[in-house]
Amino acid sequence: MQTPTSAYWTTTKRVLHYLKNTLDHDLFYKPGSFSINAYCNSDWAGDPDDRRSTCGYGVYVGSNLISWSAKKQHVVSKSSTEAEYRCLALVIAKVYWLRMLLYELKISLQAAPVVWCDNISTLALASNSIFHARSKHIEIDYHFVREKVAHRDIIL
């Protein structure tokens, strides 16, 4: 960085302060396979105030949980399938990023990542293009899920 600002300096001090105060914290990694498994779920219209759904997921490499989140979705879903599909799209984007990171690090996976979802309609929508007429209310950019499943980049 050729011209650091005071904001960079403040951020650097914050990171160093964090590292200094967490020296006794540990992360444990259990050696094993580099298989990726992810689990996702969504509650449809779970917030009684604005009826937005919450998406939750966990991503594992082997038996190690490496990424997780529970977040309210940005838009109101018109069906449980839409809420689950939006969550599935978010998780697949995270898993695909992790897969590309491992590829860049020259770490090969033994099999395609597996994403576990408990909504039958969402799984059918991701795997079968015939359902398109019933799913026009789902944004177009979320249909990349179908593409990843069709190319066998992700297994549902």
Per-residue pLDDT of the chain (156 residues; tens, 9 = 90+): 577 888 999 999 999 999 899 988 887 888 888 899 999 999 988 888 889 999 999 999 999 999 999 999 988 888 888 899 889 999 999 999 999 999 999 988 889 999 999 988 888 878 876 656 666 666 554 677 777 888 888 888
Distances 141 to 89, 90, 133, 136 between C-alpha atoms, Å: 9, 11, 16, 12
Query: Phi first, then psi: what are they for 60, rounded to 5°?
Result: -115, 140
SS3 breakdown of the chain: % helix, strand, coil, rounded to 5?
A: 45, 20, 40
- The pLDDT assigned to 147 comes to 79
CA atoms within 13 A on the CB side of 33: 9
Provide the mean pLDDT of the chain: 86
Query: Phi first, then psi: what are they for 155, rounded to 5°?
Result: -110, 130
Identify whether the C-beta of residue 47 lies closer than 8 Å to the C-beta of residue 72: yes
Lookup result for tokens 């979705």: 73
What pLDDT digit, counting tens, does each position of 119-145 carry? 888 888 788 766 566 666 665 546 777
- The pLDDT assigned to 46 comes to 83
Neighbouring CB atoms inside 10 A of 34's CB total 12
Does the reported pTM lie above 0.85? no
